Amino acid sequence: MILRRLLSLYGLLFFVFVYAPILLVVIYSFNANTLNMMIWDGFTLDWYRQLFGMETSLTQSATFVDSTDQLWGAVRTSLIVALSTSVFSTVCGTALALAVARYRFRLARFYRTLMTLPMIMPDIVLGIALLIFFITIGMNLSMLTIIIGQSTFLISYVFVTVSARLAEVDTSVEEASADLGATPAQTFRKVTLPGIAPGILGGWLLAFIISMDDLVITYFIAGTGNTTLPIHIWGLLRRGIKPEINAIATLMLLFTLVIAAAGLYFRSRRQK
């Protein structure tokens, strides 16, 4: 009994450990103290106003110079990259998963093992390898190189997510559809695709979130002028710690939570 209580106490502490740091960032993004961001000095929305370019009572020294335009530029770049990368990776990953799960061929097992490699490869190794590659073949670093680079490992994430779903879907329905005279294209569109749609959607969301957050690989292959959001914040952190970062972090948190909630919603609908 005592052991059980101790375990419960430990479990609660575990969740404090996981969430307290994140909550601190959120709470202190509303702190009015401009001199010492660690000491609470009343509630303010100034840090958010600053981010949206509105009038604030903040002094110049409290904020990063000119950061608002750069911030929204970075958000734009991140969204374009994440959208392109996630769509491309979803198409490729789904195609691979379908091939491996629904066709019998000699390399199927080999593919399964191989597809884990891009996920497990340390990102710094992949990042510099891509940098060397792009420079060697004479490709200028641009948004395109970021999209290509991120896709190399995001395809694997989609592959795994869709494969898991494919393994759950009953193949006998597909066979029945074919027996009843549906063409392969019809079977795919009316039976297979609806069955694995939640997996595809989940893989796409996963790829989107990971792409939005990718720092290391993008860091090496972004070149100048293609700052994504994580790289922008990375740069801010190197220039100093200012409360503005709390507000940016809180907005990012909100964005992630909305996407995660959407993913969860679709998953619960699937189970019904």
Residues 67-96 that bind other proteins (CB under 8 A): 92-93, 95-96
Among the residue ranges 50-58, 69-77, 150-158, 169-177, the one whose residues contact other proteins (CB under 8 A): 150-158
Residues 93-122 that bind other proteins (CB under 8 A): 93, 95-96, 98-99, 103, 105, 117-118, 120-122
Residues 193-252 that bind other proteins (CB under 8 A): 209, 212-213, 215-216, 220, 230, 233-234, 237, 241, 245, 249, 252
The reply to whether 132 sits near other proteins by the rule CB under 8 A is: yes
Give the DSSP letter string of the chain. -HHHHHHHHHHHHHHHHHHHHHHHHHHHTTB--SS-TTS---B--HHHHHHTT------GGGS-TTHHHHHHHHHHHHHHHHHHHHHHHHHHHHHHHHHHHHS--TTHHHHHHHTTHHHHS-HHHHHHHHHHHHHHTTPPPSHHHHHHHHHHHHHHHHHHHHHHHHHHS-HHHHHHHHHTT--HHHHIIIIIHHHHHHHHHHHHHHHHHHHHH--HHHHHH--TT---HHHHHHHHHHH---THHHHHHHHHHHHHHHHHHHHHHHHHHHH-
Nearer residue to other proteins within complex by CB, 17 or 43: 17
Residues 36-55 that bind other proteins (CB under 8 A): 36-38
Which residues here bind other proteins, judged by CB under 8 A? 3, 7-8, 10-11, 14-15, 17-19, 21-22, 24-25, 28, 36-38, 92-93, 95-96, 98-99, 103, 105, 117-118, 120-126, 128-133, 136, 148-149, 151-153, 155, 184, 209, 212-213, 215-216, 220, 230, 233-234, 237, 241, 245, 249, 252-253, 256-257, 259-260, 264
